[in-house]
Structures are given as C-alpha cells and as structure tokens.
Amino acid sequence: MSANRTNGAEAPVALVNGRVIDPAAQIDAPGGVLSAGRRIVAAGPDIRTDTIPAEARVIDVGGAVIAPGLVDMRAALGEPGHEHKETLATASRAALAGGITAIACLPNTIPPLDDAPAIEFIARRARENKGVKVFPYATVTRGAEGRDLTEIGLLREAGAVAFTDGTRAVADPLVMRRALAYAKGFGALIVQHPEEPRLSPSGVMNAGEIATRLGLSGIAPQAEVMMIERDLRLVEMTGARYHAAHISTAESVRVIAAAKARGLPVTCDTAPPYFALTEVDVGDYKTFARLSPPLRRFEDRIAIAEGVADGTIDAVASDHQPQDEDAKRLPFAHAAPGMIGLETLLAITLQLHHQNDMPLPAIVRRLSTDPAAILGLPTGNLSPGTPADITVFDPDSPWKIEADRLKSKSRNTLFDGRPVMGRAIMTVVDGRILHEEGLCS
C-alpha cells in the first residue's frame, strides 16, 4: 500500500484502489471515495488515481473494502455515573478501532437522560472528545421507572435520537400505548427492551435444561416474544414507529417478520452474542456469559443468524455493556449482566460472511446503512454531500481477540481468545482520519 499526500486542511482526500460498498446507492465495485473537508464529493468506480484532482491527498487502500462508517445503535458509554467502567474517551477509542463512526448511547446513566440538560451534557462531552459521533437516546419514562412519560417533543429538540428505557422494559401496557401515541405526534421512535419482567423476575440465564442443571433461575424465551406481540398490538392501535432491541429468539424473528409482512412500522436489531454464542457458553458459571437478554438455545442462534441474513433483523448493534471486575467477580446470579462489544462488532459479524456466505454488502447494510436510516442520522452512505464518515476494512485479515489489548476500559468479553477474520484498518469521521492501522503513509 502506498500514499501520496499534499498539505492543506481543506485539500481533497482520495481513498483509491479499494472495493467500494455503499448499499444505499447499490454500489459494489472497484474504485474509491473522494472527500473534501467534512463532506464526501464522490464515490464509486470513477474515483481512480487518474481521475482525481491533482492537489488531492491520495491514500491507496490496497484492495480493502471502503464502506460507510459503521453506526452502532446500542451502547452504554459510562458517562455520566459509571466512569469507572467506561468513559466517552475510552469508548470512542474502542469504537474507532472497530470501524464505528457513530454511536447511539443508552440513557440508563446516573442521572438518567430524561431531560434536556442531560441530553445537552452528552452532546457537549462528545464535542470535547472529538472522536466518534455520539447520539443520545432519552428515556421513555422519567428515571426509566416505567411510569410517567418524559417530554418527548422537548427532548427531540434537545438532540435525543430516539426513546428507550434502555436495559429496562416499558412493562405497563397503558404507559407503552401512551408513549407510542405521544411519540407518533413527533415522528419519534420508541425502542423497547422486550422482556416481560413479571414472567421471570429472578431469572439470570435462559430457562431450560442447562439452567436446571446449574441450579440457576431461568428466563423463558416466551418473556421476549410475549412483550413484542403485546407491543405490536399497540403499534396497530397507534400507528407509531417501534423498534425491538437485541432480539434473541427464533419466535421473535418469526413474529417480527409477520408484522413487517402486514406493513407495520416495525424494525429490530440483535447483537453478536445472539448469533455467535449459545447458553452452552455459560459453561461453569462464567459470569461474562451473563447477558440481558440471556444467551439462548442453538436453534435460536441459527434463527437469529438467518434473520440477519434475510433482513428480518434490520441492524446489528454492539450492545456494549462494560462492567468492571467487581461487578463480574461474583456468583453468577449476582454478577452484573452485559458484555463489551464495540471493538469486536465488525469481526464477529463478519463470521456471517465467512461461515454463512452472507454477502459483504448485506453486512455493511446491517452495520451502517440501516441503523442510520432507523435513527434518521445523516450518515450510513457515501452519497455526495453527506458527512465523510468512512470505514476501510479488510474482511480477510486474521487476528485473535485478546481482552487485555482492547481499548475499552472494561474487559468483560466472552470472545477473549477467539480467532476471527476481518478488522478495520481506517476509520474516518467528518473527513478526519481517527484510526489507521496497516496502511503505509
């Protein structure tokens, strides 16, 4: 790989000799991307060394994939209140190393993001950090306590990208109906953590034979699909936009596919653990395997992978949940749920390409184009005039995940030691190269 650079902050930058994948424009062809300042000028097969402006800085990516920057629509970033687990700065470094250019952060913070000053705090911290773009969710209910609705209109004006109680379900059907009706008036999106809490109030892993053998309380798969089915009835009543977060069961995939076929305004996402791991990975009470929702059966893992491949599942999110050692070095039932995922999102999702023959354009769509569209973000594509948010990745680069070498402040990953293929070699945010690995200067 080689580069020929010219000086000048506003000088055009040309990434050339790559495989350009832009699902929004249906581009999958050899070529490059030309940007100037913070914006994309052009992308596709016409961007070559002999077609770009003479003053452009040229970066040869050596045949790697040039794609829209990855958009992670679900991550906990630690601030405010959990800075000992993660900060915006450490999360940003991890995200950029993983090819992510934009994150939607959960509102379950201390204090929760349920008023305009809290939303503005996140925006200010992101600007100060000057790293990955951060778009905050606001809570659906005050304090994410499931009772009183927040001021959805005011919070949207303050910058909330969508509304969710994060790691808690909006369990009361009347509250959810009112939230959906209220949100519809503003064109806002409600994102649900679909789990009926009263069905498995003390559950810590998937209900079934393994939970019984380990003597752990189980969470029935039906707790997830029951909540989704209830919410879909409310969507029919209100016509509001609804998104089911990190679905994990085969039944959830089937129900959402049927809802989409009926024309309901419904989307959903999942996370890598649910198509790469199963309840068997709990092993001998591995607390890193305690997740919410829990790891499911082999059949569910296959159904989730198929749902990602056929598009029933619109997006793959990191579901990044950093936990410190004190929170995980406890008996399984008492350990905090969650697993980090920013830096491993791309590599684990690429397993669907390497093992299941899922086309690379579909991978890019699930990781970038569709999550950006769901959240209404002006990114996730390489169209002229859009922000120059770009990820360059080598889908065939082998490496081994080593928790101690990841950039997140926490180390709670069950993928530690796993050999994978595919990694980000350049991450560009608003035209600034913020991560570069493996390219010659």
Measured in whole angstroms, the distance separating CA 24 from the mean position of its chain's CA atoms is 18
Going from the C-alpha of 127 to that of each of 39, 123, 222, 408, the distances in angstroms are: 18, 6, 42, 19
- The residue behind tokens 């293929």 is 421
Look up 319 and say whether it is catalytic.
yes
Contacts of 258 (CB under 8 A, 6+ apart): none
The two structure tokens encoding residue 207: 């209900």
Whole-angstrom distance, CA of residue 202 vs CA of residue 232: 26
DSSP H helices in 202-285 = 209-214, 222-238, 250-261, 273-276
User: Which 3 state secondary structure label does DSSP give 108?
Assistant: coil
For residues 249 and 274, the answer to whether their CB atoms sit within 8 Å is no
For residues 400 and 420, the answer to whether their CB atoms sit within 8 Å is yes
Taking alpha carbons only, the member of 254, 311, 246, 253 closest to residue 274 is 246
For residues 413 and 341, the answer to whether their CB atoms sit within 8 Å is yes
User: Which residues does residue 398 pair with via DSSP β-bridges, in sequence order?
Assistant: 421
User: Could you say which of 165, 319, 370, 394 is catalytic?
Assistant: 319
N-to-C CA span, the chain: 9
Whole-angstrom distance, CA of residue 269 vs CA of residue 30: 30
Catalytic residues: 319
